Structure 1
């Protein structure tokens, strides 16, 4: 079997979790603006972004274009909920700010795991369905020094499990699919998607996960782990030679 030469991690739920203070609810934004009835029709504030697997290449040509697309999505949904035309721009801007006011912290096993993989000479990468500023979120939680490649869906032009985002991260790492292990907590985006690309996959099911429910059955050659320490057991030592990641200069999909 081909040796694993790089490990690609999901971000939220895998390396980081949300902590207090939590983002203001969208319902509270509507109420403050006197738009309670429209807010009641709005629904789940976490479902307003692009869908998993969605491709948006034209919208990802620049940060300005992507932000404009995000705001237009919010305006379109707000209009459908009955928000008056004169309120749309201000409401969309406030909702966009609210949903991105996320405070994150690392899980306890992250830094040791990533540092250990790098000491063994493996490429360590991040691939996430996230906003444009994933690189800044990575820096805020103190991971910039432990990642060779960082790819966000906003810049890649597609969300996991679309093949485009996986090709972007593999190209950035200089890896063939069979040389990569993908680790993440979401079954479709982080397991089925990588497996379909020819990567190996580990489904992370933490005891302290934020999402309730039963773990899906493991199939397709994937494995299930309960913590990141187990990743070290899933990779073999690569042959001697220079690291294939590019450090800060080798980042893909981030500024």
Structure 2
């Protein structure tokens, strides 16, 4: 007897993409360093303790639903986290609040541009009748960032960690974007440049995943071996061949 045919996989009905590093990149002028903000206040020792300017945000995989009830509540939490970190670094209490507000503005002073292959790739997905979504560890204003980079008209659903109440690879954010798209996990393909957030996390939640490794990627290091259910591409232009 011939070998039985392998079971057919459920057809992909929607593609969910990461935002930064997948659809857009930073362009000059780059965000300002945090150190001068401390030095202007005579806080050199606190600046040394603060460390990397991007380490002050929520951790990947962190759940924060209690603070994601509204934009106002979330922003208050952002400021309070920065203020408490500043205090822990030795910033005097009278300066911690104003410094936190300035650090918050500096962290969000981002100049973004879409990668050249993005518009055609997203338009091609929509031409196939697929739902196109963006799921990102991002601030509250992901919708505005999509608008500013000319991508809003190519995306059906946008879910940020700030609004979902958890950061990838927490299951809550995947559940949120799938519900918004009205997709079952097996019907979705997740695409992104970060391994845990965009590949391992979606696979664990039952989606298929594509690891985007652009030649000019910001993520250094060797790519992990591909598990079952995952693929790897160098550009979004190569995505259509997988569908």
TM-score (norm 1): 0.91
| RMSD (CA atoms) | 0.8
Residue 166 of structure 2 is aligned to residue 158 of structure 1: yes
Deviation at 1:229, TM superposition (A): 1.1
Aligned partner of residue 37 in structure 1, secondary structure: helix
Aligned residues: 235
CA distance in 2 between partners of 1:214 and 1:197 (Å): 24
Correspondence for 1:73: 81
Residue 117 of structure 2 is aligned to residue 109 of structure 1: yes
Q: Is the Cα contact below 8 Å between 2:191 and 2:211 reproduced in 1?
A: yes
Listed as ranges, the matches of 1:24-173 within 5 Å are: 24-173=32-181
TM-score (norm 2): 0.95
CA distance in 1 between partners of 2:97 and 2:206 (Å): 44
**Consecutive unaligned residues in structure 2, runs of 5 or more:** 1-8
Deviation at 1:3, TM superposition (A): 0.3
Q: Is the deviation greater in 216-225 or in 109-118?
A: 216-225
Deviations 1:145-188 (A, max 9, x none): 00000000000000001111001100111111000000000000
**Consecutive unaligned residues in structure 1, runs of 5 or more:** 236-255
CA distance in 2 between partners of 1:205 and 1:97 (Å): 30
Deviation at 1:31, TM superposition (A): 1.1
CA distance in 2 between partners of 1:91 and 1:159 (Å): 25
Deviations 1:25-48 (A, max 9, x none): 111111122211100110111111
Listed as ranges, the matches of 1:172-187 within 5 Å are: 172-187=180-195
Q: Is the deviation greater in 214-223 or in 174-183?
A: 214-223
List structure 1 segments (4+ residues) > 3 angstroms apart after TM superposition: none
CA distance in 1 between partners of 2:198 and 2:54 (Å): 19
CA distance in 1 between partners of 2:206 and 2:223 (Å): 23
Q: Is the Cα contact below 8 Å between 2:194 and 2:219 reproduced in 1?
A: no
